[in-house]
Amino acid sequence: MDGFVINILFGLSYGMVLFLLATGLSIVLGLMGVVNLAHGMLFMIGAYAGVTVGKLTGSFALAILAAVISAGLAGLFIERGFLRKLYKRELDQILVTFGFIYIITNLHLWIYGPYPRSGIVPSGLSGAIAIGAYSFSFYRLAVIAIGTVACIGLFWLQERTRIGAVIRAGMDDPETVYASGVNLMTINVGAFCFGAMLAGLAGIIGIPILGGVTATTGGDIIFVAISVCIVGGVGSIQGAFVGALLIGIVTSLAQRYYPATAIYVMYVLMVIVLVLKPSGLLGRRA
Partner 1 sequence: MYLAPLVAVFLFLVIGPPFLDTAIISQLTKILCFGLLAMSLDVAFGYTGLWSFGHAGIFGVAAYTTMLFFKYTAIHNFWIITPVAILMAAIVAAVFAAVAARSSGLYFLLITLALGQLVYCVAVQWKPVTNGDDGLWGLPYPQLGFPFSNISYYYFTLAVVALCAFLLYRFTRSPFGYSLVGIRENEVRARTMGYNTRLRKLIAFVISGSFAGLAGILYVYFNGGIAPENVGMYASGMAMIMVIIGGTATLWGGFVGSAVVLLSQYYISQLTPARWPIFLGALFIAAGFFAGGGIFPRLACLWKKAVLYGDAES
Pairwise CA distance, residues 33 & 81, whole Å: 17
Taking the complex as a whole, the smallest distance from the CB of residue 284 to partner 1 amounts, in Å, to 13
Site residues for partner 1, window 135-154 (CB under 8 A)? none
Segment 264-283, which members bind partner 1 (CB under 8 A)?
264, 267, 270-271, 274-275, 278
Q: Which stretch binds partner 1 (CB under 8 A): 97-105, 168-176, 205-213, 241-249?
A: 97-105
Among 99, 124, 153, 211, binds partner 1 (CB under 8 A): 99
* 111 near partner 1, judged by CB under 8 A: no
Rounded-to-integer distance, Cα 231 and Cα 242, Å = 8
105 scored as a contact of partner 1 (CB under 8 A)? yes
Residues in region 25-44 near partner 1 by CB under 8 A:
29, 33, 35
Out of 95, 129, 152, 165, the residue judged to bind partner 1 by CB under 8 A:
95
258 counts as binding partner 1 under rule CB under 8 A? no
Angstrom distance (rounded) from CA 271 to CA 122: 39
Q: With CB under 8 A as the contact rule, which of the stretches 42-50, 98-106, 154-162, 178-186 interacts with partner 1?
A: 98-106
* 213-232 footprint of partner 1 as x/- string (CB under 8 A): ------x---x--xx-xx--
Non-local CB neighbours of 136 within 8 Å, separated by 6+ positions: 6, 9, 10, 128, 129, 130
Q: Which is nearer to partner 1, 86 or 157 (CB)?
A: 86
Is residue 106 within the footprint of partner 1 (CB under 8 A)?
A: yes
Residues 64-83 that bind partner 1 (CB under 8 A): 82
Q: Is 86 in the site for partner 1 (CB under 8 A)?
A: yes
Residue 94 engages partner 1 in binding (rule: CB under 8 A):
yes
Closest CA to 245 of 226, 231, 257, 261: 231
Between CA 129 and CA 131 the distance in angstroms is: 6
The 10 Å Cβ neighbour count of residue 122 is 16
Q: In this structure, which long-range contacts are made by residues 185-192, counting pairs with CB atoms below 8 Å and at least 24 apart in sequence?
A: 187/163, 188/31, 188/32, 189/76, 189/79, 189/80, 189/84, 191/27, 191/28, 191/31, 191/32, 191/167, 192/24, 192/28, 192/32, 192/34, 192/36, 192/75, 192/76, 192/79, 192/83
Q: By rule CB under 8 A, what count of residues binds partner 1?
A: 40
Does 98 help bind partner 1 (rule: CB under 8 A)?
yes
The nearest distance, CB 101 to partner 1, in angstroms, is 7
Please report, as ranges, the residues that interact with partner 1 according to CB under 8 A: 29, 33, 35, 82, 85-86, 89-96, 98-103, 105-107, 109-110, 219, 223, 226-227, 229-230, 260, 263-264, 267, 270-271, 274-275, 278
